[in-house]
């Protein structure tokens, strides 16, 4: 199916094993509307993994053992996110601008529950299991072999944002989905398995532990929590970038040596709810932020860029969309490792004062802006 909008074209196809593939074309793209079929002989998809509940915390743990065989840092000529060629039977049959497809080795899914019998995952009990239903997708930001979101053009960044919004809406509509999470892992220190510029989108069957803690804080403080956080940060000294619709800041109680939150000024629960004007400004601001993070040191900075969105079925009017970008980099050639206190007890110790972080990031963004004024 091809969906044509005034600016961007969206085309859906199926891979040889039945997985969904969606192409998103830049405005004015020279790519043809027709896309090649995937003619690979692929094995059947793995069965849906099983989750086990940790009775000490209530957390659900998916044991997706099929992921052990996934590709690890392949050479460029065998890039699984490059367009297919005679020598490279990759995951994407046609040339593309942005492409999204179901992960071949998912942590959740490919199974989905019967819409009339979605399991209740609340409560705690011994030896409790459930199918790890859901959806895991890969989003490729570019056909280039190396890079990250920060290396794409402003036009391409806007297309990726459109894809994030599209997939958030589509995945939220699937049966049994409780939360949708777009994210990008960047750098070997984070554990990436591909250098190709890409991210992932997880659709979970439960509300994640981190978001559950946030919802508890909202319920304790009151429904204006995130609005009040934004107002407080905008009035303080930790803002690193601000526009008409978005503000980026180092949070008051930052855990990581590099930690930036990016929040919309208007309450929106997720990327699907953002306006065209908000998406347009986000493309430029987000690129400036990422390029500033890279300008902190002489080589690229590893990070996790996590789009925290409201759950699908609750707190839609209080849990606000927020990007949380974190990096373990605490200096040139230095990484923060989670040792006993943080890893075992969750008792964090910050290595850099948040105000110092913000000052360094503002200076780095200014340097990056001078090098790339566009």
Closest CA to 135 of 45, 198, 57, 266: 45
In contact, 259 and 326? CB cutoff 8 Å: yes
Q: What is the crossing angle of helices 209-221 and 225-234, to 10°?
A: 90
Q: What distance in Å separates the CA atoms of residue 148 and residue 146, rounded to the nearest whole number?
A: 7
Catalytic residue IDs:
198
Is-contact 108 62, C-beta < 8 A? Answer: yes
C-alpha distances (whole Å) from 10 to each of 22, 160, 170, 213, 326 are 7, 12, 13, 36, 31
193-19-204 Cα angle (round to 5): 70
Closest CA to 8 of 98, 137, 100, 141: 98
Which residues touch 356 (CB under 8 Å, ≥6 apart)? none
In three-state secondary structure terms, 206 is coil
To 5 degrees, how large is the angle CA 57–CA 62–CA 68?
Answer: 135
Could you give the C-alpha distances from 195 to 17, 92, 102, 107, 370, in angstroms and in order? 25, 16, 19, 20, 27
């Amino acid at each position: 199916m091809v969906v044509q909008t005034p600016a961007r074209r969206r085309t859906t196809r199926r891979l040889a094993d039945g997985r969904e593939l969606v192409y998103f074309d830049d405005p004015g793209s020279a790519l043809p509307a027709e896309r090649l079929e995937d003619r690979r002989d692929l094995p059947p998809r793995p069965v849906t993994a099983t989750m086990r509940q940790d009775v000490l915390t209530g957390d659900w743990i998916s044991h997706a053992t099929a992921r052990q065989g996934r590709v690890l840092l392949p050479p460029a000529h065998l890039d699984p996110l490059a367009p297919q060629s005679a020598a490279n039977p990759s995951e994407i049959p046609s040339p593309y601008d942005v492409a999204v497809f179901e992960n071949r080795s998912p942590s959740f899914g490919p199974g989905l529950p019967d819409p009339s019998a979605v399991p209740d995952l609340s409560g705690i009990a011994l030896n409790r299991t459930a199918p790890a239903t859901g959806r895991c997708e890969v989003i490729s930001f570019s056909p280039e072999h190396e890079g990250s979101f920060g290396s794409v053009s402003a036009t391409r960044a806007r297309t990726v944002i459109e894809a994030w919004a599209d997939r958030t809406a589509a995945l939220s509509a699937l049966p049994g989905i409780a939360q949708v999470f777009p994210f990008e892992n960047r750098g070997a220190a984070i554990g990436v398995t591909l250098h190709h510029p890409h991210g992932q989108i997880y659709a979970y069957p439960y509300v994640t532990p981190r978001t559950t803690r946030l919802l508890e804080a909202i319920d304790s403080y009151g429904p204006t929590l995130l609005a009040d956080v934004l107002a407080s940060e905008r009035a303080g000294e930790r803002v690193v970038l601000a526009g008409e619709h978005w503000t980026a800041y180092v949070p008051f109680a930052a855990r990581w040596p590099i930690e930036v939150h990016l929040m919309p000024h208007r309450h929106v629960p997720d990327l699907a709810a953002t306006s065209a004007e908000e998406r347009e400004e986000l493309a430029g601001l987000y690129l400036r932020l990422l390029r500033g993070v890279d300008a902190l040191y002489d080589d690229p900075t590893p990070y996790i860029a996590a789009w925290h969105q409201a759950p699908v079925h609750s707190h839609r009017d209080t849990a606000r969309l927020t990007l949380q970008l974190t990096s373990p980099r605490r200096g040139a050639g230095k990484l923060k490792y989670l040792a006993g206190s943080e890893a075992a007890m969750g008792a964090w110790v910050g290595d850099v004062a948040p105000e110092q972080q913000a000052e360094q990031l503002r200076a780095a963004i200014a340097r990056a802006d001078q090098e790339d004024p566009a």
